[in-house]
Structure 1
Amino acid sequence: MNRRRQKKLTARLMAAALSDTGTEVAALLRAGADPTIPDRYGTTPLYAASVHGNAEAVRHLLAAGAPPNAESAGEGAEGTPLCAAACWGHTATVRALLAHGADPALREDHGTGLTPLEWARQGAYEETVAVLVAASPCRR
């Protein structure tokens, strides 16, 4: 696939990850969009879908090979997908990420930031906290 087509697919995949229910994400992935390529700002499609609680899109992206623990680098979009979902109490998205190998103990900001559990506790998202506690290796 040529570079120009890939850039267009990446842009469309990012837009779909932000707003679509997952149908468009799946179609773009079938068309050859790469779920591992961040946008021009450094935000990954998986991070975008996670922060918006788009669990169906998250499942499609993970099934297509998006790494569950990869940090985004875009301004305002720094961190891991699991931290992003936990920060906003998107429990279904947290479950999807955990089911595909996201590390519940991984601190964002290259190991210096908060864990997903700490984010969920700050937001007082009890259901999300419970899911993360059950998945945590130390079960705090």
Structure 2
Amino acid sequence: MFKKTLSMICCVIFLQGCSQEQEVKKEMTNMETALLTATEKQETNTVISLLKKGADVNIQDDMKNNPFLYAGAEGYFDILKLTIDAGADPSLTNRYGGTALIPASEHGYIDVIKELLTRTTIDVNHVNNLGWTALMEAIVLSNGNETQQQVIQLLIEHGADVNIPDNDGVTPLEHARAHNFEEIEKILLEGRK
């Protein structure tokens, strides 16, 4: 009888522990949701507070967003730095299979790109679901202006392979020529050497 009662007490304690663990997991989920929301709204002080409380910068939502990827894609430099300091995983990818570097390169966020290339182990030659690297996206989805020329130069200086083609076999140089981006063409030709 005593063993049976003791077993029941142990089961109740175990189940209460499981319930508390679920509450902790729920709280962490809410904290990560709050962290992503604060990132989206550029509420830097809220991001700092949530990170101090232990919010995980690497948890992704259903759309595969997280604070690090979102800050990189939107050019939120201060929040990006905070996520890097908090241990953001630079190999995580968004719903398009791209790292934070790819949309940052498309949009010409020079400071963000420098931060990613110098403070993380991000793969400068990562290929997304479209078959595009950051270099390719900086050419194909840009207007070829001076900022994009700086982006392309920066990527090449950090090891971007100018010869990686897209899924259709078209190289960055061929795309630059098709867009009449003469300055980018020169940068790419110099980068081949």
Give TM class, smaller chain: 0.7 to 0.9
- Which of 122, 132, 137 lines up with 1:66 in the alignment? 122
Structure with a larger share of its residues in helix: 2
TM-score, reference length from structure 1 = 0.80
Aligned-pair RMSD on alpha carbons? 2.3
1:50 CA drift (Å): 1.2
Aligned counterparts, 1:1-140, within 5 A: 5=56, 6-8=58-60, 11-20=66-75, 22-63=77-118, 64-73=120-129, 78-87=131-140, 88=142, 89=144, 90-109=148-167, 112-137=168-193
Question: What amino acid maps onto 2:106 in structure 1?
Answer: V
Question: What amino acid maps onto 1:56 in structure 2?
Answer: D
Which structure ranks higher in relative contact order (CA pairs < 8 Å, sequence separation ≥ 6)?
Answer: 1
In structure 2, C-alpha distance between the alignment counterparts of 1:12 and 1:21, rounded to whole Å: 10
Does the aligned pair in 2 maintain the 1:107–1:114 contact within 8 Å? yes
Does the aligned pair in 1 maintain the 2:98–2:126 contact within 8 Å? no
Segment drifting more, 63-72 vs 119-128: 119-128
In structure 1, C-alpha distance between the alignment counterparts of 2:173 and 2:77, rounded to whole Å: 26
Going from structure 1 to structure 2, the CA distance change for 1:121 and 1:23 (only over 3 Å counts) comes to farther
Going from structure 1 to structure 2, the CA distance change for 1:78 and 1:107 (only over 3 Å counts) comes to closer
Structure 2: 5+ residue stretches without partners: 1-27, 33-55
Structure 1: 5+ residue stretches without partners: none
Does the aligned pair in 2 maintain the 1:120–1:128 contact within 8 Å? yes
Q: Larger C-alpha radius of gyration, 1 or 2?
A: 2
TM-score, reference length from structure 2 = 0.60
Segment drifting more, 17-26 vs 49-58: 17-26
Structure with a larger share of its residues in strand: 1
Q: What secondary structure sits across from 2:59 in the alignment?
A: helix
In structure 2, C-alpha distance between the alignment counterparts of 1:96 and 1:51, rounded to whole Å: 13
Question: What amino acid maps onto 2:177 in structure 1?
Answer: R
